[in-house]
Amino acid sequence: MMIALKTYLDDHKSAIDAALIGYLRQYSLTDRMLRPLEYAISAGGKRVRPILCISACIAVGGQARKAMPLACALEMIHTYSLIHDDLPALDNDDLRRGKPTCHIQFNEATAILAGDALLTMAFEVIAEAASDAPDPEAKLWLQILRSVSEAAGCRGMIEGQARDLGFEGIKLNRNDLESMHRLKTGALINASVHTGALIGMGSDQQIERLNDYAANIGLAFQVVDDILNVTGDASILGKAVGTDQSRQKNTYPALLGLEQSELYAAELIDRALLALEIFDKKADPLRAIARYILYRNR
Amino acid sequence: MMIALKTYLDDHKSAIDAALIGYLRQYSLTDRMLRPLEYAISAGGKRVRPILCISACIAVGGQARKAMPLACALEMIHTYSLIHDDLPALDNDDLRRGKPTCHIQFNEATAILAGDALLTMAFEVIAEAASDAPDPEAKLWLQILRSVSEAAGCRGMIEGQARDLGFEGIKLNRNDLESMHRLKTGALINASVHTGALIGMGSDQQIERLNDYAANIGLAFQVVDDILNVTGDASILGKAVGTDQSRQKNTYPALLGLEQSELYAAELIDRALLALEIFDKKADPLRAIARYILYRNR
């Protein structure tokens, strides 16, 4: 990883981590919910979605500070989805990023509530930031609310998760696999970039290009994830490898083979970089993130 | 029940039911999620929260039609909370309103996702209604968003649910029992009345009185619920009775005795009616609902 990107990611990650903990403490009445929420949110995520949100805001000329509440809301939604996905009735995972998952560390009831709490809190954070914004920005925040809620809902992440569950053991074609991923992980990544550009007051053309960028890196992210489940090192990834194959999960390596999957990931990243052509150097972090997706954890 | 109230409730219930199904079909991409969502939302609820929301809007001089999206969002949040509360890891209930609960009818994974979907959809519905509203109302909708998200979150319903779980088997004093209920069921009932009054453009004084009304009926509702679990008829209630005692749940009858509990419920309803004194006959439905709470299902 380039030193400049590493510093950029580390700095933003620290700021996001601090802001997230601040929100949890502000919105939790007692330790009862605060402890599992802090545990889940501090589990060492890379903060991909909030960093994309802030970077998209910067790319269109906005200030990182303005995107921070939104960035935190997106990470809360992502974290809630992981907590619920890990539950015994869903993926039944005991480990996440090398640590016991929420229902193992606490219990199932707490994990279900903690997920519900984070999803709800995301909208509390958006509501608060929107209420504090100057009046003319109220409409903009409603657009953001719409984009985020749609991405997280039945026309986005939840439908993707439901398809993923329903597809286990069924062999998919490439189209079905792709549309599942566009919903399950792509929708929230798209919303992160899209709403970051909205809060940064990007032009229609900028927003269109950034949507294109997001769609390509979102899919690339998933393809690389599938590849790492085959070739990765469990101690670096912080989760078990080889699990997709044993669960007969539909993956790109299973469908295309490993080599074609790697070529496809590279092609998606090329398309993402092409979409950024109209931007100046303020989009360099987005460019670096796109390249980093290809080479992470190797 | 007075005939007039019955007609009022039936008419609004039908309109709410139709609007809810309309939203589910609009926001669900495929049958995969639509079927469990329709099942859960059609399970025969009395639509207390949406009717309160619409009635509060009417009481301050607003039009019922304007409150409908909000009313549906509130019912979605209520329904999600029931689906998740019924899960094996939480209350482990097999029946709800005389029908198999969502995880029994489908499976646990589907029930978790369906709950997540309804919570998210509530915010999609609010976002859509807010975007469609005239510009000057944008700030009002952000206030509504804030009120609803706070009521559903860690400073409301979720903290209440977490306390309820943590308190099972521990004997509570009246204060702790009351604050648990104010969070678990009171917060969303308050938000229903409060946001209904907001969308109806109620004055500060009207809103203050309605908040007082809501706090009292919310608690009365819970006290009567506890009483019915002791004295009720399972076939009319559509759920098992006597379960609180066998689970050593903290209830008003257990704490105060049955007679004192009935007196307390009546006192709360008196207070609620007193709070409505400043309103004209447009608040008659709210008055009738308060009285109905005391006598439901007997």
DSSP letter (8 states) at residue B145: H
- Side-chain half-sphere CA neighbours of B6 within 13 A: 4
pLDDT higher at A83 or A235: A83
Q: To the nearest whole number, what is the mean pLDDT of chain A?
A: 93
Confidence of residue B98 (pLDDT cuts 50, 70, 90): confident
Closest Cα in chain B to A37: B154
Q: Do A130 and B145 touch (CB under 8 A)?
A: yes
Could you tell me which residues are beta bridge partners of residue A96? A99
Interface with chain A: mutation pick from B113, B131, B150, highest number of A CBs within 10 Å: B113
**Which residues does B201 contact at the CB level (< 8 Å), separation at least 6?**
B60, B61, B62
- Please write the tens of the pLDDT for every residue from A36-46: 999 999 987 88
Confidence of residue A238 (pLDDT cuts 50, 70, 90): low
Q: Do B117 and A153 touch (CB under 8 A)?
A: yes
State residue A232's pLDDT score.
75
Compute the CA torsion angle B255, B260, B261, B267 (nearest 10 deg). -130
Collect all residues of chain B within an 8 Å Cβ-Cβ radius of residue A70. none
Q: Give, for A96, the enclosing helix (H) or strand (E).
A: strand A95-96
Percentage of residues of chain A with pLDDT beyond 70 = 94
Which residue is it, tokens 């749940």? B249
Closest Cα in chain A to B146: A127
Confidence of residue B237 (pLDDT cuts 50, 70, 90): low
| Interface check B259 vs A, CB under 8 A | no
State residue B45's pLDDT score.
85
In 3D space, the residue among B271, B243, B266, B269 whose CA is nearest the CA of residue B256 turns out to be B266
Of B107, B141, B153, nearest to A142 by CB-CB distance is B141
Which residue is it, tokens 């903990």? A21
What is the mean pLDDT of the segment spanning A152-162?
96
State residue A167's pLDDT score.
85
| Interface check B89 vs A, CB under 8 A | yes
Q: Which CATH superfamily is domain A3-295 in?
A: Farnesyl Diphosphate Synthase (1.10.600.10)
Q: Do B146 and A158 touch (CB under 8 A)?
A: no
Q: Which tokens in the block code for residue A145? A: 């609310």
User: Is residue B298 predicted with pLDDT exceeding 50?
Assistant: no
User: Residues A185, A221: contact at Cβ < 8 Å?
Assistant: yes
| Interface check B170 vs A, CB under 8 A | no
| Interface check B135 vs A, CB under 8 A | yes
Across B26-30, B166-170, B253-257, least confident range: B166-170
Percentage of residues of chain A with pLDDT beyond 90 = 81
User: Is residue A5 predicted with pLDDT exceeding 90?
Assistant: no
Q: What is the largest CA-CA distance in chain B?
A: 54
Phi, psi of A99 (to 5 degrees): -120, 155
Q: Do B121 and A154 touch (CB under 8 A)?
A: yes
Q: How many Å lie between the alpha carbon of A177 and the closest alpha carbon of chain B?
A: 16
pTM: 0.95
- Each as own residue / partner, the long-range contacts of residues A262-270 (CB below 8 Å, 24 or more positions apart, any chain) are A262/A227, A264/A223, A265/A220, A265/A223, A265/A224, A265/A227, A265/A293, A265/A294, A266/A294, A268/A216, A268/A217, A268/A219, A268/A220, A268/A223, A269/A216, A269/A217, A269/A220, A269/A293, A269/A294
Q: Dihedral of CA B31/B36/B39/B45: which sign?
A: negative
Q: Which of residues 172-201 of A touch B (CB under 8 A)?
A: 183
Q: Mapping DSSP to helix (H, G, I), strand (E, B) and coil, where does residue A165 land?
A: helix
State residue A8's pLDDT score.
93
Q: Which tokens in the block code for residue B73? A: 């969002």
Q: Which of residues 205-234 of B touch A (CB under 8 A)?
A: none
Closest Cα in chain B to A28: B154
Q: Do A138 and B138 touch (CB under 8 A)?
A: yes
Q: Identify which of B95-99, B246-250, B292-296 has the greatest average pLDDT.
A: B95-99
